[in-house]
Amino acid sequence: MSAAVHILCKILCLILVTLQVSADRKVSTKIFECTFNSTICDGVSIAHIKSEGKNDARHYVLSPIGLPTVFVAYTGPGAALIINWTNLVSPDPAKRQNSIKIVNTTVNYSFSILFSKLIEYNDTQDYADMSKYNAGSTHWNMYDLQDFSWEKLSTVSDIKSNSITFKASDKTQQELWKNNGTFSIKFNAFGSEGREDQLPHLQYNENLTQFDMNIDHIMTNFTDSRFAVEILTVGGDSEPMYVDKTRSIDDEYAPGVFQIYNWMTRSNHRDQTGFLQWKPVAYNALKRARNKATSMKHYALQDLTMDQKNQVDDTIVYAFYGETVLDKSMKKAQNFSFGIAKDGGYNKTRVLTWSGSIGYGSPPADAISTVVIIIILAGLGLPIVIIIFGGIFVCMKKRSNRPDKQLKAVNSTGYQPILDSDR
């Protein structure tokens, strides 16, 4: 009895500690706008989401300057973001470097995720696989996101909900937007643990920000158009990057999806690493549902080309690191394509949505839910109960039919002598 009470007390203490950690972490969002020169600034802005606890803080600095970028930093508490706008918007690279700083504390680790290209290709063979085509075997359109015009963060974001949105639309006056389409990436930060309300119900906690990417009714150029995105990752040091895959027997939260992937920025510090997490599923509707799900693929990590490196130099990543640190940092590119054979491609619905998480530390791992555990226990327990009680019944039945009991029943009337028939 005392052992059970001791275990129960430990569980209650663990719950209280978890609640306390969540309660102590405060999430706040602020948007900084360039205002010193309206011509030069032209709506340039930077968002800073800070998730701060008693002992540490996570910073997400977001801006579409150059490329839509998320700069993630893990620091001690009490940090502040300082921006030198004059240097940041300068055409001189020497002035731009180190024009953004995190001060008043030590930056323990940092890394960046950059969305660099929107890729359209003509899937004439319905492979739903970019690797099946080369440059000459089908038609391609490569849209550099640095050429998109992005709406002011303050007009499309909700800082009270710690939500920041990058949104490109018809203001760019490109063929891409003829159907009043939009391309957007929405980021949400959290101060506690939980799951995303919409499919695929990714886990979240105070160590990450989730994103939702929407490709909504943009103009296509091909009969069999499919889309992909190119993402660049810049590590805070020279450690190799890798993609990790985990499996689960539980698809309760994302029906039919049993894998989860993590693009890790460090191979030697598994608990002290940046990560991009996703499930291999996308959706062909803004209102996601199981019957609107489609597949997605990711491809091998690649070294950055010179053009990609030049793109990074025009972003807030260069403004943080400067040329010397950036040259020594690990940098990789990866493509993600969407769709599955016979799903009709993008032209069927003209909507595509995808979600992922960007954070620092150990990525969330799907565990078997309580409901599934109960179902498994019920499924295993019922046959065991039947076997046990069936065995008891058979044993009792056999015991009741034992010969010694029958003999006692026969002799219960007393001894009857056998008479000699010759007498």
Contacts of 19 (CB under 8 A, 6+ apart): none
Q: Which of 165-169, 335-339, 390-394, 419-423 has the lowest mean pLDDT?
A: 419-423
Q: What is the mean pLDDT of residues 96-111?
A: 96
What does the alpha-carbon distance between residue 203 and residue 365 come to, in Å, rounded to a whole number?
A: 8
pLDDT digits (tens, 9 = 90+) for 47-99: 999 999 999 999 999 999 999 999 999 999 999 999 999 999 999 999 999 99
Coil, strand or helix: which one is 386?
helix
User: With 80 as the cut, is the pLDDT of residue 18 above it?
Assistant: no
Q: How much is the pLDDT for 11?
A: 43
pLDDT digits (tens, 9 = 90+) for 19-47: 443 446 899 999 999 998 888 898 899 99
Q: What is the mean pLDDT of the chain?
A: 86
- If one compares 83 and 12, the residue with the highest pLDDT of the two is 83
Q: What are the residues facing 406 on neighbouring strands?
A: none
CATH code linked to domain 20-368: 2.70.98
CA distances from 102 to 22, 47, 97, 98, 342 (A): 24, 13, 14, 10, 49
In the DSSP assignment, the letter for residue 260 is: E
Domain boundaries, the chain: 20-368, 378-404
What does the alpha-carbon distance between residue 30 and residue 188 come to, in Å, rounded to a whole number?
A: 13
What does the alpha-carbon distance between residue 244 and residue 349 come to, in Å, rounded to a whole number?
A: 32
Q: What are the residues facing 263 on neighbouring strands?
A: 243, 276
Count other Cβ atoms within 10 Å, centred on residue 256. Answer: 10
DSSP string computed for 88-146: HT-S-HHHHTT-EEEESS-EEEEEEEEEEEEEEEE-TT----GGG--TTTS-EEEEEGG
For residue 18, report the phi and psi dihedrals to the nearest 5 degrees. Answer: -60, -45
Q: How much is the pLDDT for 367?
A: 63
Q: How much is the pLDDT for 20?
A: 40
Q: How much is the pLDDT for 384?
A: 74
DSSP string computed for 351-379: EEEEEEEEEESSPP-----HHHHHHHHHH
Q: How confident is the model at residue 15 (pLDDT cuts 50, 70, 90)?
A: very low
DSSP string computed for 308-365: HHHHHTTSHHHHHHHHHHHHHS-EEEEEEEE--TTS--HHHHSEEEEEEEEEESSPP-
